Amino acid sequence: MAGHQFIPIFEADLPEVAAFLFEQQTITSREDWTQARPSGDDLRWLLDNPDLPPGAAMGETLRTADGKILGMILALPRMYRLGDRKLLGMAAGNFFVDASARMQGFFLLKRFLASSGPDFWYANSCNRQSGPLWSKLGGVLVAESDVEYLFPFRLGPLLEEIAIRKNWPAPLRKTLKRAGPLASLIAAPRRRRNPFRVEYCADLDRLADIAERDRNPRFLQADRSPAYLRWVYSSVPPTEGAEGASLTLHRFQDTTGREGWFGLSFVPRGRDDQIRSARLYDVVWPHEHYAFAEILPAIVEVAAQRTDLLSIRGRIGLGLSDRIAGLRRRTLLAPEAFIVSKTPPSSELAALADFPFADRY
């Protein structure tokens, strides 16, 4: 490792680290068009993490002898719940290493997993490069983290994507796009009636109360405290209909008063960003009374208003399979989530890990 050094990330380093991250995300998003696009985020939201101790490093960079960044890994502490226990998880965020120093990624991740304090270490945004390193260092694949479930609303943009990937002539692409409404009428999955009352809700204290009531003690789930929700959903507009809102929250309720809520993120998808996509960002529901498939119509109803496609990353707690409620199962290019733990062992937690679908990392 001569010529390389590992330097902790503190507040003053965030602009430089963010610039490196933007460059690496651009490369990765070209490899897998389902991955998040580079956002130009300055990473200052890391400072508001309620589980980050004052003055603690927010990860580590790999640098050349003269200080140039060649790699990075964010270290984000998150409190989790399993039954009546609280467990501190350390999330590996935005783990990237430049191609010129790819071999050093092994040591960067090894140092992350050697940190003291957490009860377990995990990642839920791995790709084809980072996943094998997690496996080599003892990481266990989290169940269902290698698939997503899709619910198409409008088939025109999806047909156009097929044409783009196959390099079909432009006139044929336009023909497929124009045929989209008819194809949607014939082939799009039938939407089930939504039995719930759904409303926009940015009252994070109320949503935290609902999350506590709906928490499933059988799974390892994030502690959705008011402080945590204020950190994750600080960008959510206070009222519905804000121009260009990329993240929204919605509460639903049945006729007996049982409540749940979900978050949707809106990002373009496809080679030409022609697919308007909604991704399920988080969801809690009264699991003792409903299966996830039964509350899915509430999510579909909201997502269909402004998108062509709903994407749901696989998660063990959802109990999904292909064709349930009209969903299509798709295998991802690479598994996204791995976990390392000593007590309980990694294999045990991997079978119980009900991680959020997509954090900001």
Q: Structure tokens of 296?
A: 């899915």
* Pick from 34, 77, 36: nearest CA to 57: 77
State residue 215 phi and psi, 5-degree precision.
Answer: -60, 135
- The 3-class secondary structure across 50-79, one letter per residue, is CCCCCCCCCEEEEEECCCCEEEEEEEEEEE
The pLDDT > 70 percentage for the chain reads 91
Q: Residue 38: pLDDT band by 50, 70, 90 thresholds?
A: very low
For residues 143 and 54, give the distance between their C-alpha atoms in angstroms, rounded to a whole number: 34
Beta-carbon contacts of 244 under 8 Å, excluding residues fewer than 6 positions away, are: none
Say if 4-146 and 148-152+192-331 have the same CATH topology.
Answer: yes
Mean of pLDDT values over 167-172: 80
Contact 309, 153 (CB under 8 A): yes
In this predicted structure, the answer to whether residue 69 has a pLDDT above a threshold of 90 is yes
The per-residue pLDDT for range 215-272, each reduced to its tens digit, is 999 999 999 999 999 999 988 999 998 877 889 999 999 999 999 999 999 988 888 8
For residues 263 and 249, give the distance between their C-alpha atoms in angstroms, rounded to a whole number: 4
- Which of the two residues, 258 and 274, has the higher pLDDT score? 258
The per-residue pLDDT for range 122-160, each reduced to its tens digit, is 999 888 889 999 999 999 999 999 999 999 998 888 888
Alpha helices, DSSP H only, in the chain?
Answer: 14-31, 105-113, 130-136, 156-165, 170-178, 180-187, 204-214, 226-232, 292-303, 346-350
In this predicted structure, the answer to whether residue 34 has a pLDDT above a threshold of 60 is no
For residues 8 and 3, give the distance between their C-alpha atoms in angstroms, rounded to a whole number: 17
Contact 134, 142 (CB under 8 A): no
For residues 61 and 310, give the distance between their C-alpha atoms in angstroms, rounded to a whole number: 35
For residues 147 and 96, give the distance between their C-alpha atoms in angstroms, rounded to a whole number: 22
Contact 350, 142 (CB under 8 A): yes
Say whether pTM exceeds 0.75: yes
355: Cα separation from own chain's centroid:
9
Q: Which fold has domain 4-146?
A: Aminopeptidase (3.40.630)
Residue 355: count of CB within 10 angstroms of its CB:
27
Mean of pLDDT values over 320-325: 78
Q: Residue 326: pLDDT band by 50, 70, 90 thresholds?
A: confident
- Bridge partners for 66 per DSSP: none
Distances in Å between the alpha carbon of 361 and those of 4, 76, 157, 333, 336? 25, 9, 28, 18, 12
Mean of pLDDT values over 56-69: 95
Mean of pLDDT values over 307-331: 88
For residues 235 and 246, give the distance between their C-alpha atoms in angstroms, rounded to a whole number: 9
- Which of the two residues, 184 and 82, has the higher pLDDT score? 82
Mean of pLDDT values over 321-335: 86
Mean of pLDDT values over 78-103: 92
The per-residue pLDDT for range 172-210, each reduced to its tens digit, is 777 777 776 766 656 678 888 999 999 999 999 999 999
CATH, domain 148-152+192-331, list 1.10.540.10, 3.40.50.80, 3.40.630.30, 3.40.50.300: 3.40.630.30
Domain ranges of the chain: 4-146, 148-152+192-331, 154-187
For residues 158 and 269, give the distance between their C-alpha atoms in angstroms, rounded to a whole number: 10
| pLDDT for the residue numbered 2 | 57
